[in-house]
Amino acid sequence: MSSSSSGDREKIVSKLPSSLQQQLKVRTAQRRIDIQHAVEEGIKAWRGLGSNLSPIDTTGARSFSTWLPPTQWEEFRTDCSSRGVSLIQGLAQSVSLWLQANPAPGVVRPSVVRRIVVCNQKGGVGKTAVAAGTGQALAEDVDTLYPVGVSKHFAHALADTDSDSTPTALEQLPGLGLRVLLVDFDPQGHLSKQLGLQVLPLDGDSLTKHMSGDAAGKLADLIVPVEDERFGDRLHVLPSCTDAFLLDVKLSGVRAREAALERALGPVESDYDVIIIDCPPSLGLSMDAAAYYGRRRDGETPGNSGVLVVVQAEDSSADAYGLLTAQIDDLRSDMHLELDYLGLVVNHFDARRGYIATSSLESWMAIRDPRVVGIISDLKEQKEAVRVKQALLAYAPQCPQAVALRALAREIA
C-alpha cells in the first residue's frame, strides 16, 4: 500500500476482489457518481457500524487504487486494526456496504411506447443498418458497461482523415436495457436477413395481411427474438414478407389506410418500450402509414416519437431528402399531424473521399431543424456483420460504428 498527495485528496493503493471492482465500476456509472466518492461513502458507513459485518471472500483480490480525503485512509487503517480486520477485508466490506445502500436504478421506461420511423426515399443509404444498430444499442444489458461516443465531438468528423480511427472521446456507460421491437417494413427483407432471420413465407400470416384486414392469427406469433445474451430477451424482430411489395395496392382499398400500421401493431405495443420501423425506399401509401404511426399522440411528449432520416454525405442523398421532407410536410398539413423529426443520421461517412464528403457533411450539419444526431463511419465491421448474419453490436461491440450507434441511441432516447 502506498499513498501520495494530490490536491485535496490522496491516492491510496490496496486490493479488492475483482468481482467487487466490477460491480463498483458498473454501479457508479449507473448512478453517475465517481468511484472515489463511492468508496469514501462506503468507508464512512463502515466506520459508523456498531459491529463487524460477516467476512467477505477476498481470495484472488487484485490491485485497486482510488483517491480519498486526507487522513481518511489512515483513520480507516486504525479502525481495521482495532476491530481485528485486515485492511483488504475492511475495504471489501466498505464497498459491499455502499453497493447495498445504492442499488442499481431501474430502467426508465417511456410512459408512451416510443415509435421511431427510420426512412429515406433513396435506397442504399443504410437505413436498415442504422435501424438495427439503434435497436441493438437501446436493448443492451443495463448491468454491463459499453464504450459510447460523446456527441459533442461530431464536429471532429470534419477533420478526421482516418476513417479507421477510434473516436477520441469515449465514456464507459451501462446499457439502456429497453425492450425493443424492430419492424422489417421493407419487402426486400434486408433487416431480417442481416440478423440471420428468415422472411415470412408468402402462404402464411404477415404484417401486410394484418394491415389489409386479412390476418390469419395474432401478430405476436410472428415476432422472433435476436438471440444474444447482451440483449437478453429485450430485442425482437417482426420479419418481412415479400407480400409487402403489394402493400400499397392492398392499402388503396382499406378504410382509414393511414392508420393501418397502427392498428396492426397496437396489440403488441404494451410489450415494448421502443418500436423501430425500418421503412422501404418509397414515397407511397406504406410511407404514409409509417409516418402516421410515428405522429405525436395525445399527451405524448414532443420528441418521444417521430421520424429519423438517414442520409449520406453526397449530393443525390440531398435530393432524396427534399422529396421525403416534402411528403412529410404534406402529411402534416393534409392530415393535421404533429409529426416530429428526431434528427438526421449521416451514414457511410468517410472523410478520405475528399471535398464532396466533407462539404456535404458541413451542409447537413448546417441544418438546424432537423439537426444531425449521429455520424456513422463507413467501415468494414458492418459489412462483415451482414456477411456472417450477426447483430453488429454483438459481432464488433468495440468498433467505431458500434460506439457511434450507442451515442445515437442516447441522443434520441
Specify whether the CB–CB gap between 274 and 179 falls below 8 A.
yes
- What is residue 157's predicted lDDT score, i.e. its pLDDT? 47
Q: If we measure between CA atoms, which residue out of 406, 398, 401 comes closest to residue 376?
A: 401
In percent, how much of the chain has pLDDT > 90?
A: 69
- What is residue 220's predicted lDDT score, i.e. its pLDDT? 97
- What is residue 158's predicted lDDT score, i.e. its pLDDT? 44
Average pLDDT taken over every residue of the chain: 89
Choose the weakest-confidence range: 155-159, 166-170, 259-263, 409-413: 155-159
Specify whether the CB–CB gap between 177 and 141 falls below 8 A.
yes
Q: With 70 as the cut, is the pLDDT of residue 50 above it? A: yes
| Number of C-beta neighbours around residue 18 at 10 A | 12
pTM of the full structure = 0.87
- What is residue 165's predicted lDDT score, i.e. its pLDDT? 40
Question: pLDDT tens digit string along 161-199?
Answer: 344 444 447 889 999 999 999 999 999 999 999 999 999
178 bridge partner residues: none
* Cell (9 digits) for 13: 493503493
- What is residue 164's predicted lDDT score, i.e. its pLDDT? 42
Q: How confident is the model at residue 150 (pLDDT cuts 50, 70, 90)?
A: low
Choose the weakest-confidence range: 5-14, 117-126, 141-150, 342-351: 5-14
C-alpha span between 233 and 227 (Å, rounded): 8
C-alpha span between 211 and 238 (Å, rounded): 14
Q: With 80 as the cut, is the pLDDT of residue 154 above it? A: no
Higher pLDDT, residue 288 or 140 = 140
In percent, how much of the chain has pLDDT > 70?
A: 94
Q: With 90 as the cut, is the pLDDT of residue 160 above it? A: no
Q: With 60 as the cut, is the pLDDT of residue 371 above it? A: yes
Angle, vertex CA 220, rays to CA 185 and CA 121, nearest 5: 10
Q: With 60 as the cut, is the pLDDT of residue 68 above it? A: yes
- CA dihedral angle for residue 360, residue 363, residue 364, residue 365, rounded to 10 degrees: 120
- What is residue 34's predicted lDDT score, i.e. its pLDDT? 94
- What is residue 186's predicted lDDT score, i.e. its pLDDT? 92
Question: pLDDT tens digit string along 402-411?
Answer: 999 999 999 9
Q: How far is CA 80 from the centre of its chain?
A: 44
* Maximum distance among all Cα pairs of the chain, rounded to whole angstroms: 84
Q: If we measure between CA atoms, which residue out of 181, 177, 168 comes closest to residue 145?
A: 177
